[in-house]
Amino acid sequence: MLNIQSYESLKPYNTFGIGAKARYFVEIESADQLQALLQLTDYPDVPKLILGGGSNLLFTRDFEGLALKISIQGIEVVAENEDHIFVRAGAGTNWHELVMFCVRNGYAGVENLSLIPGTVGAAPMQNIGAYGVEIEQVFKELEAVELKTGEMRTFSHADCRFGYRESIFKNEVKGQYIITSVTLRLDRRPVFHTSYGAIQETLKEMGVTDDRLSIKAVSDAVIRIRRSKLPDPAQIGNAGSFFKNPEIDTSRFERLKTDFPALPGYPTGDPAKTKVPAGWLIEQCGWKGKRFGDAGVHAKQALVLVNYGEATGAEILSLARKVQQSVEEKFGISLHPEVNVV
């Protein structure tokens, strides 16, 4: 049964801990409930906001529409063959819980994505990634309900048009579908990705040698790194990485290296492009650890903007724009938010 609330606080539903409200709010626990909601005549033209884990949102105002908290749960193996296991999860399932399910069962492919906040449904929208792996590398398909018609549609890998922190759901069909489940294709025989970031160094500190390498060891290393660098939203409000790592022309990267010899760069799969760590750029501009009232830049990771208590979304957004401006002035590089601003 649908329980639609009025003027519900959204503070518990965003990891920044911003105290916005929604004109209408409903929690959805199944695809059937979602389709029933869309059949109601009360809210056809009301703006809709989809809430997962709230780890990719910054509220700068109240939402004058219908907020849908997607809480569809469940993890199940739906198929397997000699090389792969196919696992389907409800869109409201905690992403890290899905990763731990795969690690416990020896299903390889998502161990580098351990401890990323948020829900399963948001993962393909954002094409989440970390430490050299993106969800598109293990993605099989997803199911989504079209808001306009209430009909269920299956999206294949090609349909999703994945890019760096991009998908069709952030572009051509933005706001037109609600994801209800995601199916991943995991490997029986792991291919380890340990060259990115501090994974190799951390594995060494953990006493894990090459002959003892496992998907659990890689997952444990990633968790250790993330916990050492990133603040827990339960302790300090934040949405993880606030900005995307910019990809610039490799020729331009080489020119910048003459002025900034320590500038790091990573391959993108396209020789003409090089990925530059946004956190490094921000730190070089002197923002790391800066605080303005309750809005600040995290002391251990400059890529993370934080709410120390009672910061407003507008204050955090203002800080983000100042960071963008200083990086543009110093390096000539534009930073683009990963976080969705409402």
Cα distance between residue 31 and residue 241, in whole Å: 30
**Cβ neighbours for 10, distance < 8 A, ≥ 6 positions apart:** 18, 19, 20, 21, 22, 25, 51, 54, 59, 63, 67
Residues with catalytic function? 165, 241, 338
Cα distance between residue 154 and residue 170, in whole Å: 17
Residue 210 C-alpha from the chain's centroid: 30
CA neighbor of 242 nearest in space, from 319, 305, 328: 305
Cβ atoms within 10 A of the Cβ of 133, count? 20
Cβ atoms within 10 A of the Cβ of 60, count? 15
Cα distance between residue 242 and residue 316, in whole Å: 10
**Cβ neighbours for 27, distance < 8 A, ≥ 6 positions apart:** 3, 68, 69, 71
Residue 48 is classified by DSSP as E
